[in-house]
């Protein structure tokens, strides 16, 4: 083939590569999860430290969050475990039932992935049980990442679409982002 043509091919490849490199970490499949943190638990904030609607109090930034947030595989696994560990039982498909909704912009205990992880691990007053040791840590992170996608808070190209079931909510690719804000204490659900 003529050389200008090859040059063009290379150019196209380079452009594509640049566009995709940004997104390819979203496709990494790390089956092992990161090693458990040694020493005091990174998210070791006890429930008593948290006031409902308590604003910025919460676990500090966790390096493990980056592995799960915006990773399509982990979010997809989180979707599966959300079902398997029966989060549906209280939160339905994210719209909330006897537990608070997970797809709106009201976050009683914070809406960052670290804060959601902490809420699952530690439990929260008024009915949210602690899943410490009941759900392995990397699966908790996956569930937290999936919950973030319910409110449209993960990258669109990592969010899961519909599942193979009767539909009670939008495909997560179609959810408009809802930036997290703490709820007023009076909004606290039953």
Partner 1 sequence: MRRAAAWLAMGMAGLALAACSGAQDSLNPAGDQAAHTQDVWRLMLIVCGAMYVLVMAFLGWALWRARRALDGPPLEDAVKSSADAPMRNALVGWTALIILGLGVLAVGSFLVDRSLARADTKDALHIKITGNQWWWQVEYQDPDPSRQFTTANELHLPANRPAILELAAQDVIHSFWIPNLAGKEDLIPGRTNWLTLNPRRIGVYRGQCAEFCGLQHAQMALDATVEDPQAFEAWRQAQLKPAPPPSNDAQVRGQGVFINGACGSCHEIAGSDAHGRTGPDLTHLASRRKLAAGALPVGRDGLIAWLHDPQAIKPGNHMPLVHMSDQDLNDLVAYLQSLS
Partner 2 sequence: MSAAYPREVGAKEAEALHAQLDATWRTGTGFWDRLATVDHKIVGRRYIVTGFVFFVLAGILAVLMRLQLATPQSGLISADRYNQIFSMHGTTMMFLFAVPIMEAMGVYLVPLMCGTRNIAYPRLNAYSYWVYLFGGVMIWVAFLLNVGPETGWFSYVPLAGPEFSPGKRTDFWAQMITFTEVSALAVAAELIATILKQRAPGMTLARMPLFLWSILVTSVMILFAMPAVMLASSFLISDRLIGTHFYNPAEGGDPLLWQHLFWFFGHPEVYIIFVPALGMVSSIVATFAQRTIFAYPAMVMALIGNGLLAFGLWVHHMFATGLPRLGNSFYTSASMTIALPAGVQIFCWIATLWDGKPRFKAPLLFVLGFVVIFVLGGLTGVMLASVPLDLQLHDTYFVVAHFHYVLIGGAVFPLFGGFYYWFPKITGRMLSEKAGAWNFWLFFVGFNVAFFPMHILGLIGMPRRVYTYPAGLGWELWNRISTLGGLVIVVSVLIFIGNVTVSLRRGALAGDNPWDAATLEWATTSPPPSYNFAHIPVVTTREALWSEDRPVMEGLKSESREVLCTSVLDAEPDMRHASPKPSLWPLFTALATSAMFIGSIFHEWALVWGSLPIVVGLIGWLWPTTPPKRQLEAAT
Residues making contact with partner 1 (CB under 8 A): 29, 31-33, 36, 80, 84-85, 133-139, 164
> For residues 141 and 149, what is the distance between their CA atoms, to the nearest angstrom?
13
Choose one: 44-52, 88-96, 132-140, 158-166; the region binding partner 2 (CB under 8 A): 158-166
Report whether 150 contacts 172 (CB < 8 A): yes
Answer with the entry of partner 1, partner 2, none that 45 interacts with (C-beta below 5 to 8 A by kind).
Answer: none
- Shortest reach from residue 113's CB to partner 2, in Å: 17
Shortest approach of partner 1 to residue 48 CB, angstroms?
Answer: 23
SS3 21: helix
As a whole number of angstroms, the distance between CA 43 and CA 120 comes to 11
Question: What are the beta bridge partners of residue 124?
Answer: 128
Applying CB under 8 A, the span of 84-92, 93-101, 112-120, 151-159 interacting with partner 2 comes to 151-159
Q: Which is nearer to partner 2, 16 or 51 (CB)?
A: 16
CB of 160 to partner 2, least distance (A): 6
The distance from CA 24 to its chain's CA centroid, rounded to whole angstroms, is 18
Residue 157 binds which entry of partner 2, partner 1, none, CB below 5-8 Å type-dependent: partner 2
**Residue pair 108/182 in contact by the 8 Å Cβ criterion:** yes
CA distances to 54, 63, 69, 170 from 161, in Å: 33, 27, 16, 8
User: Which of positions 62-91 make contact with partner 2 (CB under 8 A)?
Assistant: 72-73, 75-76, 79
Query: What's the min distance (Å) between Cβ of 124 and partner 2?
Result: 28
């Amino acid at each position: 083939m003529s050389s200008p043509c090859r040059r063009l091919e290379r150019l196209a490849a380079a452009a594509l590569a640049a566009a995709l490199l940004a997104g390819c970490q979203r496709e990494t499949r790390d089956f092992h999860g990161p090693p458990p943190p040694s020493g005091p638990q990174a998210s070791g904030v006890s429930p008593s430290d948290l006031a409902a609607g308590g604003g910025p109090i919460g676990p500090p930034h966790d390096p493990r969050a980056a592995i799960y947030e915006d990773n399509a595989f982990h979010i997809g696994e989180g979707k599966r475990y959300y079902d398997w560990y029966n989060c549906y039982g209280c939160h339905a498909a994210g719209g909330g039932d006897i537990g608070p909704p997970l797809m709106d912009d009201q976050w009683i205990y914070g809406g960052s992935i670290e804060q959601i992880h902490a809420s699952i691990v530690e439990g929260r007053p008024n009915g949210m049980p602690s899943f410490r040791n009941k759900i392995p840590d990397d699966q908790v992170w996956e569930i937290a990442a999936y919950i973030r996608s319910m409110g449209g808070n993960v990258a669109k190209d990592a969010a899961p679409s519909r599942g193979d079931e009767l539909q009670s909510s939008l495909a997560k690719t179609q959810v408009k982002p809802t930036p997290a804000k703490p709820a007023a204490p009076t909004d606290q659900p039953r």
